[in-house]
Amino acid sequence: MTETNNTTNNEARASELKSEEFNTLLNLKLCNFSNINPYNSPKQYPVNIHELKEMSKVGGILEDAHIFKYLFGIETPEHFKKKEEGLDFSLYNIYFEEWNDLLIFLKFGRSQTINGKPEKILLTCNKLGSIPAYDRWYKNIDKIRKQKEDEMYNPMSPDQDTKKLYRWKSCSPNNVESFGTNNKEYSITSPCRLSEFISVMYWRKPIASKNNVASP
């Protein structure tokens, strides 16, 4: 019984692979990409349009990328002329490496360039009419990046407080104890030498809101 089930499953899988092979090769397009040497002809690489069609279905990562789908001939809005499937990337000054970076995102829903320049992929998306899924990912990553920057933000003096998040005071290094006693809401940061003979200790406290009046 088990052997019969395995045979049936294998036959079903073989049929599925055959259908997938047919659809993939039927929708395979050799597309032109920009050449780093402008005097040479565009480079050609295969693009799996069938894969892009699957991504374009409801629930897919390209479901709301309407301009992208129109440019590739995947979707034709009413009253629009149907385009041939495929795209001449060289007309948009897109190199295969740039398309590959975007394709990684489309396949896996994330980008390996987060520690580099996600704006580079954003530029490619914009050349292709914008991809809302990447816009959403970029906004989320940008939010996370800003949160990390805020966590690392630790100015030790007023000139380092570029975001203007603190109120600042200073005192003589000889007056630290009494100053701290009289200004308990402030935290000491670091000494600063103003000149060869003059040093001060900086103190700070967070600004609770923009409506607060700065302390004297």
Each residue's pLDDT tens digit, 13-72: 887 788 878 777 878 899 999 998 888 899 999 999 999 999 999 999 999 999 999 999
137 and 164 part of one domain: no
State which residues form the domain around 199. 158-206
- Return the percentage of the chain with pLDDT > 70, whole number: 90
**The two three-digit tokens of residue 159, written as one number:** 């000139």
Cα distances (angstroms) measured from residue 213 to each of 160, 167, 207, 208, 209: 21, 10, 9, 10, 9
Given 104, 133, 150, which residue is the final one in a domain?
Answer: 150
Q: Is residue 24 part of a domain?
A: yes
Residues 176 and 73: their CA atoms lie apart, in Å, by 72
Residue 146 sits in the same domain as residue 164: no
End-to-end Cα spacing for the chain: 87
Which pLDDT score, from 0 to 100, does residue 190 have?
Answer: 82
Helix 118-127 to helix 132-152 angle (10° resolution) is 160
Are 87 and 144 found together in one domain?
yes
Amino acid at the residue 77: P
pLDDT exceeds cutoff 70 at 1? no
Closest to 66 in 3D by CA, of 132, 119, 110: 132
Q: Are residues 7 and 58 in the same domain?
A: yes
Residue 167, strand partner residues: 205
Q: What total of structural domains would you count in the chain?
A: 2
Per-chain mean pLDDT for the chain: 86
Asked whether residue 173 falls in the same domain as residue 144, the answer is no
Cα dihedral 61/65/69/75 (nearest 10): 100
For residue 59, give both structure tokens.
Answer: 């629930």
CA distance 166 to 168: 6
Residue 130 shares a structural domain with residue 42: yes
pLDDT-based confidence at 90, cuts 50/70/90? very high
62 plus 96 within the same structural domain:
yes
Give residue 18's pLDDT. Answer: 81
Together in a domain, 51 and 123: yes
Q: Hey, is 4 helix, strand or coil?
A: helix
